Homo-oligomer: A and B are copies of this chain.
Amino acid sequence: MLDEFYIEKLVKKKFPYKSRFFPTGIGDDSAVLNLKDSSLVVSSDSQVQDVHFNLKNFKPNEISSRALAVSVSDICAMGAEPKFFLNSLFIPRSTKKFFINRLFEGFKFSSDEFGVKLIGGNVSLSASLIIDVTVIGQCINNKFKERGKSKLGDIIYVSGKVGDAANGMTLLRKTRIYNKSEKGLISKYIAPKPKIKLGKILGQIDYLTSMIDVTDGLSIDLNRLLSGSSKTLGAFIIWEKIPKTKVNKEFISDKLFSNNVLGGGDDYELLFTVKKENHDDFKKLIERKKLEVSEIGYVASNKGIKLSRGGRTTTLEIKGFTHRF
C-alpha cells in the first residue's frame, strides 16, 4: 500500500543533493539555505479538508490560522526565526466571499501574532478546501538544529504538554458543555501555537544536539528525531515524567489517554536532546529563562523506544498519524 514513508524514501533516493548552499539535504523539518552570509530555512506544510480539519469543527479563520501555525512550527523546530510566508489556496466551487474574508482574517491575525509577513501565494479551484503554506525563516547567528544528530546518553526533553491536542479532538467529538481545562485542550487542537520564542532560544544552544516538533505523535516523532543518527539509537522514556494534562476518565478512558499522549499528534511542541555533560547547564538555563520544558528520558543504544511505567518497562509501538492512500 502506498503511504507517505514510501514517498519520503523515493524523494531521498531521487534527490540526494547536498551542497555548500544546501548543507543538510532533504528530509528535516525545514530546508536550510546558505546564500551568501545568511542561512535561511524553508518549509511547506498543508491543511486538507476532511484530512486535517473539517468544516463542522473549524471556523474558516481557524483553518487558515492553523495552516500557518503548522508551517511556522517547522521553522521553530529548526531553532530559526520565522519571517515570511506564501499561501497556496485550493478552493471548492461555490465558496462564498464571506468564507474567503474570514480565511484571510485568520491569516492576518496569525501572521501578526507569529511575526511572519505574507510575500506570495496562488489560488485555484479544487474539489475540496486545501491550504498549503510555505514559510521562510532566518537562522540567528547562522545556527540551526537538525534531526538525527543525537548521541548516546543525551537527555530527551519536550516542551509544554503532549497529548493535549489529541485529547481535545476526542472531547470535541462529544458535543456537550466543556469546563475550562477541557476548553484548553480543544483550543490546543483547533488553534495550535508554534513555539517561536522557545525555538529561537533552543536554536542558540550549542549542546542541544537534535530537535523536531511533535506533529504526528510523541513516539513516531521521537523515532524520527533519533533515526538518521550515525549510530542506530533508541530511547528510554518514563511515562510519569511525560508532561500531560489530566482528563475526566468518564470521557477519555485510560487506554485512549495513553494512546493520545504517546501517539496523538497536533501538539506542535518541541522535542529535543541535550548533551548529558551539559545537563546541569541546561537545568540552570531552564530556571533562569523559565522555559516550559520537561526531561522525559534519555537516548539509549538499542533501536526502538522503551517506556517505563509504574516501574515496568515495555517496548513502545511506534505509532502516530500517517497518510495512507
Contact = CB atoms under 8 A, between A and B. Distances in A.
Given A44-B121, A125-B325, A14 B108 contact: yes
A96 B136 contact: no
Contacts of A93: 325
A43 interface: yes
Residue among A17, A52, A127 having the largest count of chain B Cβ atoms under 10 Å: A127
B118 A17 contact: yes
Contact of A31 (B30, B52, B120): B120
Contacts of A286: none
A101 interface: yes
Q: What is the oligomeric copy number?
A: 2
A152 interface: no
A22 B117 contact: yes
A29 B111 CA distance: 22
Contact of A325 (B94, B130, B324): B94
A126 interface: yes
Interface residues of A, number: 72
12 contacts: A2-B96, A6-B100, A10-B100, A14-B108, A31-B119, A31-B120, A33-B136, A35-B40, A43-B86, A44-B86, A46-B132, A90-B132
A305 interface: no
A38 to B, nearest CB: 4
A136 B35 CA distance: 11
Contacts of A136: 33, 42
Interface in A115-154: 117-128, 130, 132, 134, 136, 138
A125 B44 contact: no
B11 A91 contact: no
Contacts of A179: none
A50 B124 CA distance: 11
Contacts of A42: 84, 86, 119-120, 134, 136
A323 to B, nearest CB: 5
B323 A118 contact: no
A2 to B, nearest CB: 5
